[in-house]
Structure formats: C-alpha cells, structure tokens
Chains A and B, each alone.
Chain A
Amino acid sequence: MAKITFITSANETITLEGTEGSVMALAVENGVRGIDGDCGGVCSCATCHVHVAPDDMDKTGVASEIESDMLELDDNADEYSRLCCQLEISDALDGVVLTVAK
C-alpha cells in the first residue's frame, strides 16, 4: 500500500491511498483536478502530467523514453516530470508528493 499526495494547481493537497493500478487511475477515481487521463493510461495523450518532488525521484524513477518524448509536447515539462499513468502503485511509492502540472 502507498500513500500518495497530489498538489493541484488550485493548491489543494489531497492524499490518497492505493494498492494497485496506476497513479493516474487513482487520481481519476478520486477526482484529482488536472489529471484527465484522456487516453485511459497508454501514454498517448499527456493529460496526466505531474512533477515529482525532487526528493521523491528515487522512488518514482525517471520517465521512460516514450514518456519523455511525449512530455516534450508540454512546455512546462522539466526533469521531474512524469506521466503518472506510467507510475504503477506499489509500496515503493509510499509518501511521494506529486504536483499536478498546469
């Protein structure tokens, strides 16, 4: 189980608990604003963009090749960017803080 914190662009902080599935699915299930997941989680739409807190990067790891290519669509992307449909929930993600991209 992992506790995952989202900070939305309205500066709301939402902490959710998940056991399986993708972080995008968890966020959509709980209506986290700014995470739309339009492609259903197959790395095709880039509407699930988050910035990982720098200290948490060792938990999430960096974006894969296709993911970082897709992130180039968004001018706000940086080295902490991930498409959170590509983050699989596991104990390893416990405590991560994700800021929803604008």
Chain B
Amino acid sequence: MSDNLTNPKICVVIGASHAGVNFAFALRREGWQGEIILFDSDLELPYHRPPLSKTYLTSDDGIEKNLLKSAESYQRDNISLRLGITVADIDREKKNIVLGDGSLQAYDKLVIATGARPIIPAILGVATAKNLFPLRTASDVSSIRDCMKSGAIKKVVVIGGGYIGLETAASLRKLGADVTVLEREERILSRVTAPEMSVFFQQLHAQHQVDVLTSKNVISIESHNEYNEVICADDTLYRADMIIVGVGIHVNKEIAEKAGLTIQNGIKVDASARTSDEHIYAIGDCTFHHNLHYNRFIRLESVQNAVDQAKVAAAALCNKKPVYDAIPWFWSDQYDVKLQMVGLSQGYNQVLVRRDSENDKSFSVWYFKDAILLAVDAINNAKAYVYGTKFIKGRQKVDQSKLVDLSVEFKPANLLSE
C-alpha cells in the first residue's frame, strides 16, 4: 500500500482556480488521507474564469452564481481553503512555503497552480489612463460593470483581438457600449486560427456594429478629464471612456523560478505533471508540458488542460503512474456564435472548410498536415467538433475530397478513407 495514502502527509497547493481546485478534489477521490491546503491571493471563493468575459459580464449575478465548488464542498472533502494569502517563496530544502506575512507552511508534496496574469503593455500613458482594465479576475469584472453602470461609458476601446478581447467586445456591445477593437497583427486570432476564421469573426463583429481594426499598433494613451485618446503608430486616434487590455498573459512562474525549478516558457513538467523537484508538481496555465499526441512541448491556456493535468497530478501523488495524454480543446462564445476547437493546428499546410447548412453561421474548418488531421474549429456545429475529436483521438484518416463534398452526408463513416 502506498505510503502517501496510509501515512498522512501534507499536500499544499499554490493557486486555487481551475487547476488547483480540481486537483484538490481529485486528490481526495484518489484516497489521499493527509491534509490538503489550498492558498490563493484572490479573496473570492474559486470561480469559473471563462464566463467572466461572456455571460457573467453581461449579467448582474454575484460571483456566488459562478463558483467552481460550493463552500460546503470544501468542508465535506476536508480541504482547507486559505484565501487572500499570497505565497512569496518556496524553500525546497526545508520543504516549506513562505507566506506573504512571513509565516511558514510545511509541505510533503507541493503543487504549483499559479496560472497566469494579464500583460499590461508598457504603452506610454498606460499608468495614468482612465478606466483601463484587464479581464482575468472577478474583481476586474466588478470594476468594468461598475464603470458601465455609471452611465459615463459610451466608447470603449479593446486593445487586442484575441478570444478574451473579442468576447469582451461582444459582451460590452450587448451592454450598449460603442466598441472598437484594435489589433496589432494583420488579422485577428492570427496565432490560433486560419484566415477563414479571422474573416468570419471580423464580419460577425461588424454585423454587430463593433469595429475590429487590424494592423493597429497602440503606442500611447493620452488621458483627459473625462476620457482617453488611444493613439496608434499610424497616427490614428480613438476616443475611449473605458479601455480593456487583452493582449495576452505572463505565466506566474516567479516563485518556481526563484526556487530553482526548471523553467522553459513556463514551469517544465513531465508526463505526470512533476517538476524538476520530485516533491513538487505543477499544473494548468503555468506549465510547459509534453503533449503526447502531437509529440511536442507546449503551454496551453485552457480549462481542459487545467482539469486534465489536475487529475494526472492527483493520481501521481497517490502512486499511480498516470501519463498525460489529452487532445486539447477550447471554446469561445460571442453573440449567438459558439466556437469549439479541438486539437493543435500549428504546422498545418492545408485548410478545408465544410459548410452543410444554409445558415452562414454554421460551418467547420479542418486543419491538415498532408494527410493527417491536426485540428478542427467548429462554428455552431457541435457535430463537426465531436467527429473531429474522435478522428484526431483515433488518428483516423479523413478522406479530404469527401469532407468537402456536400453530396456526401456528414457522418463519421462517410468521411473516413477506406
């Protein structure tokens, strides 16, 4: 019988969000008898992040409607949740963590689930800009909502045309703001999707009177009494009563780095989510990990990865020999459009589009490297998402000519090569 299970030990988790919380509950389920202590700087009970830029932003709900687990669940599973506490250091030799107030907490096993924080770019004037917010936490949403409710917000500029920026633009539009998105690259979502998708989302936003402007490199912000002016390198200027910054994230890797753990584009972990220290694991957005299916080291920002790595680390701590082997998936909701993505499209050399319905807001984009299906983006088309998932998982060979032939009914059996 495993030592970790019979001989109560202390497992400490830094970061109580999708990764840390799912890990703690999974660890109990695996039979861990010892203490489980979760620390997070955020004061709120841990909540879902994806809705923050979507339905939660446009609702009047309090965060209690959006919790990962109820307060009682933590009690029932005997998980201590210590909120409002920032972990300052890890002392690997003494197996302690140092809390913000200088006090210590011993651990036998440590899990780093510190995630990421928004990048606030060093644009001239950013520090003095009025009503400028990132969107990562419940408190960011409260600030944005308060601002919207004040009635003083007519024009919003969103810096960054990634998923968070676009979702926030759609939500603020729904709340009645006049929204402009400024993207530095030549097309939106350029790092994550094919041009077909960029065009689709650009048009979708245009239909909702949201201007999505590309090749707009913001270089400074001038704030006046009541409003800001956002100035781009091409000398164009946009008025903004509120500015949302969605230009990407920094991994929260500093405490791991200071402790001397191996860092490479994130905290490097093995297939069981273990870091270069055998007593320390890392999970979620903060990790640089190996994806078995694509045979490549990657960093992912997704609920899927946070939850799946959480399960792997919990099993590993209970002396099973898990191997992280997941196909990445992700979703984004904007207006009445649901995008579902599966796989990793990087490295594709062919893109095929399948459009079954009359509805121009329902289709799927299939990414191939030669004959191999890498990824699928499905727009209002869960079928394509599900088939894509199965084909990729099973490494099945898709018949490309049938895929684009609308006379071939869209069914798995019809789409595979003989």
Contacts and interface: CB of A to CB of B under 8 A. Distances in A.
Nearest to B47: A40
B372 interface: no
Contacts of A31: 69-70, 72-73, 76-77
Contact of B70 (A30, A36, A69, A73): A30
Contacts of B70: 28-31
A70 B382 contact: yes
A43 B338 CA distance: 10
A58 B78 CA distance: 39
7 contacts: A21-B65, A38-B304, A42-B54, A43-B338, A69-B385, A72-B383, A73-B390
A69 B331 contact: no
Interface residues of A, number: 21
A73 B340 contact: no
Contact of B331 (A25, A29, A39): A39
Interface string A35-66: 01011101111000000000000000000011
A74 to B, nearest CB: 10
B386 A70 contact: yes
B131 to A, nearest CB: 27
Contacts of A66: 338, 382
Closest 10 A/B residue pairs (Cβ): A69-B382, A40-B48, A31-B73, A44-B331, A29-B70, A66-B382, A69-B383, A72-B386, A40-B51, A70-B382
Contacts of B65: 21, 25
B228 interface: no
Nearest to B29: A33
A39 B386 contact: no
B307 interface: yes
Contacts of B340: 44
A42 B55 CA distance: 10
B338 A44 contact: yes
Contacts of A36: 22, 307
B331 A38 contact: no
Contacts of B18: 38
Interface of A: 21, 25, 28-31, 33, 36, 38-40, 42-45, 65-66, 69-70, 72-73
Interface in B105-133: none
Interface in B279-326: 303-304, 307
A69 B22 CA distance: 26
A12 B55 CA distance: 33
Interface string B352-385: 0000000000000000000000000000001101
B180 interface: no
Contact of A42 (B29, B331, B386): B331
Contacts of A69: 382-383, 385-386
Contacts of B72: 30-31
Contacts of B48: 40
B96 interface: no
Nearest to B48: A40
A31 B65 CA distance: 15
Contact of B69 (A28, A39, A42, A65): A28
B50 A40 contact: yes
Contacts of B54: 42
Contacts of A42: 50-51, 54-55, 331, 333, 338
A36 B22 CA distance: 9
A12 to B, nearest CB: 12
Interface string B70-105: 101100110000000000000000000000000000
A23 to B, nearest CB: 15
A22 B385 CA distance: 24
A97 to B, nearest CB: 22
B303 A39 contact: yes
Contacts of B51: 40, 42
B66 interface: yes
Given A70-B382, A73-B386, A38 B69 contact: no
Nearest to B68: A28
A31 to B, nearest CB: 4
Given A33-B29, A42-B55, A69-B383, 4 more contacts: A36-B307, A42-B51, A42-B331, A43-B382
